[in-house]
Amino acid sequence: MSTQRFILFSLVILLVTLVGAPAFADDEQVLTVYSGRNESLIGPILAQFSEDTGITVEILYGGTSAVANQILTEGENSPADVFIAQDGGALGALAAADMLHRLPDATIERVVDSAFVSPDRLWAGLSGRARVFVYSPESLEEHGLELPGSILDLTGEEWSGLVGWAPTNASFVANVTAMRVLLGEDETAGWLAEMIANGVQAYPKNTPIVQATIDGEVVGGLVNHYYLFRFLAEDPDITATLHFFPGGDLGSLINIAGAAILKSTDQPYDALALVDYLLSDTAQEYFAQSTYEYPLVASVHPSVDLPALAEIETPEIDLSDLADLQGTVQMIEDSGALE
């Protein structure tokens, strides 16, 4: 990016901070969004953004890691204006490559907790999802078990064959990446090996883990919190419930979906308008009510029965440090979890 273009971008960002985003954009401009979030999750609110602002949006969907790698490959020639990621690690990878522009204070300050924004203010969390242990109280009692105090306790003999996980799921990969950061390579690899030796049940994604818990195939499993609420929306009588690991345990990692503006954008004004819109009450209500995720602004609250974010004892970690997702994928493959 040229010095002149960088200065122009900075001036525009300052202008938006002072006077706010426009109500309408130039009809000839098209904002290009690269999204690592599934279309069913983010598409409706992006369509609402276009309807409310008049800004036309073109969206490239894909897996978060794949989309981030595409931006890295395209470099400053990337047509992307905004990157929406499924996790903090992918945003951290682009930040480390110096491909993101610092966001204005007014944007960053909308987010309720500094843990959910880049320390360098290069990205902002849009919604939060907690890693939890979904379980059946009836099955727990039937097997004479007590709730685990740590995700590490699930390697115990008493849990043999009774736990489900989804080793190819992106959120699981991020969770194991956090383990690598905080516990180290050897201990994380050891945990994976012990889980496999203990007969952990593998599923292709989170939804079947919840179903297996309801059906009694397993006592419980490692999932994101909101999957259970999708089942409860269909059948409020389901008795499965959520366990948040206490004491800052790695099993209670809270990750985010987030957004960032690319340095290569030629539409910083509209790009910032989108990020700010996604942090507006309108969008945050959408995330709370439609995806059952945690809204990340103080004025909006979860639409389902969840502990407040501040009440969850989460591990202390910079989500930007979860950038080496590929290294985790390789560790999971090497462990034999996919066989």
- 3-class SS at 326? helix
Look at phi and psi of residue 98 and say left if phi exceeds 0, alpha if psi is from -120 to 50, else beta. Answer: left
Domain coordinates in residue numbering, the chain: 3-128+255-307, 129-253+323-335
Instruction: Please return the burial class of 22, using the count of CB atoms within 10 Å of its CB with bins 0-12, 13-18 and 19+.
Output: middle
192/285 Cα distance (integer angstroms): 37
Among 263, 260, 270, residue whose Cα is nearest residue 58: 270
pLDDT at 170: 86
129-253+323-335: same fold as 3-128+255-307?
A: yes
204/287 Cα distance (integer angstroms): 24
pLDDT at 28: 59
CB 210 within 8 A of CB 240: yes
CB 247 within 8 A of CB 149: yes
Identify the segments of the chain with pLDDT beneath 70: 1-28
What phi, psi does 73 have (nearest 5°)?
Answer: -70, -40
CATH superfamily of 129-253+323-335: Periplasmic binding protein-like II (3.40.190.10)
Among 26, 45, 261, 244, residue whose Cα is nearest residue 150: 244
CB 224 within 8 A of CB 171: yes
CA-to-CA separations, 119 to 57, 208, 212, 314, in angstroms, rounded: 28, 36, 39, 18
252/317 Cα distance (integer angstroms): 12
pLDDT at 134: 98
b (16+ CB within 10 A) / e for 156-169: eeebeebbbbbbbb
b (16+ CB within 10 A) / e for 268-280: bbbbbbbbbbbbb
CB 240 within 8 A of CB 228: yes
pLDDT at 19: 35
pLDDT at 255: 95
- 3-class SS at 70? helix
Q: What CATH number belongs to 3-128+255-307? A: 3.40.190.10
Among 212, 226, 198, residue whose Cα is nearest residue 291: 226
Q: What is the pLDDT of residues 134-186, one digit of tens each?
A: 999 999 999 999 999 999 999 999 999 999 999 998 899 999 999 999 999 99
| Residue 241 in tokens | 């419930």
Q: Which amino acid, residue 182?
A: L
